[in-house]
Amino acid sequence: MRLLKCPKCGEMFSDTYKTCPFCQEDEERHSSKPVKSAGHRTGGGRAKPKVGGGVVIVCLVLVLGLAAYTIFGNQITAFFTGEKDAPTPEPAVLTMNKTSVELTVGSSFALTVSGADKVAFSSSDEAVATVSANGTVQAVSTGSAVITASAADTTATCRVAVTAAVDQPTDPVTPDVPSDLVIYSAYGKNVVTDVTIKAGEEALMEVQGTDSTVTWSIADSSIATVDSSGMVKGVASGETTLTATVDGQTLTCIVRVNVKVN
């Protein structure tokens, strides 16, 4: 066997071929009819590798599918599983019980906020008014300040105006006056509004409900007399009034004197 050189394409081929197999292959690629040749091909070929059209289509489908899932993945999943996207929560709206309030120095006011569970309070000028964590505003000095309640991205405000405190006139102090003062008999230890004794007899009277000194007097000393200790003595038959003055009050008691029978 020997090698021959094709005068047309310049390729070397075996003499077992009747014609140049390289030229024959080129003719087959450009013609719809295959060209038969005897023998077999030796040496290097110039055939170009072919890429299958099916592989290209599969790759394109995969790329497009991946892109679609990236963009519409949530909707696709929800369609097949029946799940729905969670609704977007509405933003919280804060409402204060007051949008403005007037205070005097030293006074306070409680602010309440609805629309959120946790609220943070702050004051624009703590030299004028401070606010506690629970919303209690304390007036410090004259001026104005803005109290802000914040929750997430929502706020509510209240303007506080602080004025000087006005001195109020002091009411005169009225001493406590006992209301349960009564005259009673020291001997019988019973409360009396009138007492009956005989001429020449004595009866000690006291005022119940106070430890203060009592001033005693009697309207008609010709019927009965009384000393500073409250001792009443019958003088003559008749009726008169015994008076006790103590702690700003005046108490009275009727004294009846009967003639003593020997």
Give me the pLDDT at residue 175, please: 47
Give me the pLDDT at residue 51, please: 46
Q: What is the chain's pLDDT, residue by residue, as a tens digit (262 residues)?
A: 677 788 888 888 777 777 888 888 877 777 655 545 444 444 444 444 444 566 778 888 888 877 877 887 677 676 667 666 566 666 668 899 999 999 999 999 999 998 888 899 999 999 999 999 999 999 999 999 999 999 888 899 999 999 998 776 656 554 454 456 788 777 666 777 888 889 899 989 998 888 899 999 999 999 999 999 999 999 999 999 999 999 989 999 999 999 866 5
- The domains found in the chain, sorted by start residue, are 1-29 (no CATH), 97-163 (2.60.40.1080), 182-258 (2.60.40.1080)
Give me the pLDDT at residue 44, please: 44
Give me the pLDDT at residue 93, please: 85
Residues listed for the chain: 262
Give me the pLDDT at residue 27, please: 78
What's the pTM? 0.35
Give me the pLDDT at residue 209, please: 85
